[in-house]
Amino acid sequence: MKNYVQNGSNLTITAGSAISSGDFVVVGSIVGVAVTDIANGASGAIACDGVFSGTKASGATLAVGDVAYLNSTGKLTNTATSNDAVGLVVAVTSTTVDVKVFGRKVA
């Protein structure tokens, strides 16, 4: 088909600040995880589909099936206020959270 662009599993974004490989990234309503380091102002790929592990925020009480929110320090929390809903929790330990990312905010 002549109007096909890409499959959408990875999307190219322009970083508004430096992003490290593995960081959760929110651009508007798009959610993904950086595939590689992306310098401030540079373009780079984010993975927008899959399950990714992130750092659990101190004091967060997350359980399987909960919405995971990304706080201002890049950690995952259950606190919705002022935080972006990045996916659904599929596993949790005392320090990490595995999150199913759908390519968009979930709440």
Q: Is 0.85 surpassed by the pTM of this model? A: yes
Domain with 47, as residue range(s), is 10-101
Q: What pLDDT, on the 0 to 100 scale, is given for residue 7?
A: 87
Does the residue 106 lie in any domain?
no
Domain count across the chain: 1
Does the residue 34 lie in any domain?
yes
Does the residue 51 lie in any domain?
yes
Give me 43's structure tokens.
């373009």
Does the residue 5 lie in any domain?
no
Amino acid identity, position 69: Y
**CA 52, CA 71: separation in Å to the nearest integer?**
16
Does the residue 27 lie in any domain?
yes
pLDDT tens readout for residues 50-66: 999 999 999 999 999 99
Does the residue 2 lie in any domain?
no
Cα-based torsion angle of the residue sequence 8, 84, 39, 36 in order, rounded to the nearest 10 degrees: -50
Q: Where are the beta strands (DSSP E) in the chain?
A: 10-14, 24-27, 30-34, 43-47, 50-55, 67-70, 76-77, 84-92, 96-101
